[in-house]
Amino acid sequence: MNRYAKNITERTEMVRREALRLGFDAVGFARARRLEREESRLEQWLKEDRHGTMQWMENHFEKRVDPRRLVPGAVSVVSLMISYHQPELAETQVTSDNPKISKYALGDDYHKVVKEKLFELFEFTGSVTGNIEGRVFVDSAPVLDKAWAVESGIGWMGKHTNVMNREWGSWFFLAEMIVDAEFDYSAPVTDHCGSCTRCIDACPTDAIYEPYKVDGSKCISYFTIELRDEIPEEYQQQMGEWIFGCDICQDVCPWNRKAKPGAEERLFARPESADRDIDYWEELDLEKYRELFRKSTVKRAKFDGLKRNIKVAGANLRNPENGYIKVASRDDWR
């Protein structure tokens, strides 16, 4: 069957419909160009050492700010979003005193799940354009995925620097196709954070040092995932129960209380790693770690890193005076 689109508008709608059919929850289209505003922001962020030990953030600067350097001949950036939101899990995590893993990491490795859908969409896009050159990305290359999601109308940049969507909150993964085909381009959406500062107020480490600016070197996610050294003593108490990642700034966001649930079950939490007590985690050995996280992004922290995090969380849980310094009670960020 010949599926070639007769014009750019038809092509755009065909790709949009196919993306939704494959299980993506939103899709947006933007012209590939140099992101000059993001370029200056990233340059300043790096100069101020906000990236901590993540030296890889300094690499491929030109490719980060201009997708045409990353994919020669690129004309468009197609941004896609897929939710992993489980409302019941969000409630459980906020009220539980057990060690916590960021919700995005409790299901199967999103890189593989989402890229599988992306490859299908890329093949379909080639079938409606007649021919296509390009690449697909899921948090796996120097692509400013949040900036492109905003540029393509997926959502707006929240004050915690996560992309926000009125229907889906911020509980979603982003992905991109950077291709040499042209589409009808989407318009950016309005910022709906208003005067709210709940994410800033709730951050235990003051990582959100200004609205729309995050110091990566102070973020609990950085400490528990990226940092290979010992966690600085002055931040260990603020880590609370987090052993991989952190969701506090998203948990307190009013938009996330209204977010629609996701539909891709492979991204949902596995019972064996969700809401387990400290004794369970302290007994974790290398064999069990490999079995438990075989298909999980938690592997990024490495076994030694996860055990380090568990030790800190255990100390906080066993000392009632420990915990989040800035948050008086759980009701403040429920």
Q: Residue 150, Cα to own-chain centre: how many angstroms? A: 14
Element (H, E) at 78: strand 76-83
Element (H, E) at 134: strand 134-137
Could you give the 3-state DSSP secondary structure of residue 173? strand
**Cα(215)–Cα(50) distance, rounded to whole angstroms?**
5
User: Beta strand 156-157 with 163-164: parallel, antiparallel or unpaired?
Assistant: antiparallel
Q: Residue 108 catalytic?
A: no
Residue type, 85: H
Task: Compute φ and ψ for 14, nearest 5 degrees.
Answer: -65, -45
> Which residue of the set 139, 180, 191, 201 is catalytic?
139
Is 80 in contact with 125 (CB distance < 8 Å)?
A: no
Residue matched to tokens 């076994």: 303
**Cα(10)–Cα(15) distance, rounded to whole angstroms?**
9
User: Beta strand 100-101 with 76-83: parallel, antiparallel or unpaired?
Assistant: unpaired
Could you give the 3-state DSSP secondary structure of residue 182? coil
**Cα(263)–Cα(276) distance, rounded to whole angstroms?**
24
Structure tokens at 232: 């600085």
- The dihedral built from the CA positions of residue 22, 25, 28 and 33, taken in this order, carries a sign that is negative
Angle, helices 8-22 vs 110-129, to 10°: value is 150
Half-sphere exposure of 242 (CA within 13 A, CB side): 29
Residue matched to tokens 């600085």: 232
Is 104 in contact with 245 (CB distance < 8 Å)?
A: yes
Catalytic residues, which ones? 139
